[in-house]
């Protein structure tokens, strides 16, 4: 306070009478508060600018990832999709924002997907699930979806980061391999049955030959 009052006296080039001191002191107090508020405001602007720059860098990184990727707020509201998402689904942000992603899901599987996602939001557990997403060509392809929480220094979830990896070809190859294995198993079983039939037939022939030899 005294420092601020001295500064006012020095800058004004005058000395205050005793009856003017309270007024000058109040003026100095308000001036000091104004300076502190200005500094605080400037600090907030700088912090916000740094945060926005960091957010922009993060989104640029996500936007250039191969495949589909997105971010959501702590409550699960999706606030950003990368260009891979839009290229695959043929949608817009206005259509997909928040919970709009439900539009590109299989209606039969959607309740299960939604329940699992809400469970992760409530518990903070990472999300992982395979399900199909409908593309711009109206045809579905299977994706492996993984979502992980991003936490602040206190451990509080501030955002979610999700990726959708196309595994449709892998699933098709897996299904083909399983079908071939099944057919191979069926073939082996059929061959085994044929061998048993052959053995029974050979045993019957041997039996008949023995009977004929006995009669002779």
DSSP string, 56-90: HHHHHHHHTSSSEEEEEETTS-EEEE-HHHHHHH-
Query: Which H or E run includes 173?
Result: helix 168-215
CA distances in angstroms from 54 to 5, 48, 152, listed in the order given:
42, 10, 14
For residues 187 and 131, the model is more confident at 131
Into which CATH architecture does domain 67-166 fall?
2-Layer Sandwich (3.30)
Residue-wise DSSP of 22-60: HHHHHHHHHHHHHHHHHHHHHHHHHHHHHHHHHHHHHHH
- Averaged pLDDT for residues 47-76: 80
pTM check: above 0.75: no
Q: How far apart are CA 137 and CA 132, in angstroms?
A: 14
Find which of 7-16, 27-36, 108-117 is predicted with most confidence, using mean pLDDT: 108-117
Name the H helices within 97-167. 110-123
- Please name every residue paired with 145 in a beta bridge, in sequence order, or none if there are none: 129, 164
- Exposed/middle/buried for residue 146 (C-beta within 10 Å: 0-12, 13-18, 19+): middle
> Left, alpha or beta for 33 (phi > 0: left; psi -120 to 50: alpha)?
alpha
Nearest to 127 by CA among 146, 143, 149: 146
The pLDDT assigned to 45 comes to 46
SS3 139: coil
Nearest to 58 by CA among 90, 80, 86, 84: 80
| Share above pLDDT 70 across residues of the chain, in percent, rounded to a whole number | 69
| Share above pLDDT 90 across residues of the chain, in percent, rounded to a whole number | 47
Query: Which H or E run includes 204?
Result: helix 168-215
Domain-by-domain residue ranges, the chain?
2-53, 67-166, 168-216
| Look-up of token digits 């695959």 | 88
> pLDDT averaged over the chain?
80
- Averaged pLDDT for residues 21-32: 58
Nearest to 198 by CA among 190, 182, 210, 187: 190
| Look-up of token digits 């959607």 | 110
Q: φ, ψ for residue 213 (rounded to 5)? A: -65, -35
Note the pLDDT tens digit of each residue in 161-185: 999 999 999 988 877 777 777 776 6
């Amino acid at each position: 306070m005294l420092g601020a009052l001295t500064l006012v006296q020095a800058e004004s080039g005058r000395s205050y009478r005793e009856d003017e001191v309270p007024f000058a002191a109040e003026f100095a107090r308000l001036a000091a508060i104004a300076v502190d508020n200005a500094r605080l405001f400037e600090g907030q602007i700088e912090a916000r600018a740094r945060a926005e720059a960091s957010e922009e860098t993060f989104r640029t990184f996500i936007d250039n990832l191969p495949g589909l990727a997105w971010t959501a707020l702590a409550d699960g509201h999706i606030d950003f999709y990368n260009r891979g998402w839009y290229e695959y689904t043929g949608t817009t942000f206005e259509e997909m924002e928040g919970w709009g992603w439900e539009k590109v899901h299989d209606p039969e599987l959607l309740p299960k997907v939604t329940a699992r996602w809400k469970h992760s939001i409530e518990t903070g557990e990472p999300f992982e699930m395979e399900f199909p997403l409908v593309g711009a060509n109206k045809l579905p392809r299977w994706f492996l979806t993984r979502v992980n929480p991003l936490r602040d220094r206190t451990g509080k979830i501030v955002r979610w980061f999700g990726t959708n990896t196309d595994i449709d070809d892998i699933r098709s190859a897996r299904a083909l391999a399983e079908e071939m294995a099944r057919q191979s198993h069926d073939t082996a079983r059929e061959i085994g049955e044929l061998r048993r039939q052959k053995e029974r037939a050979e045993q019957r022939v041997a039996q008949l030959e023995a009977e004929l030899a006995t009669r002779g």
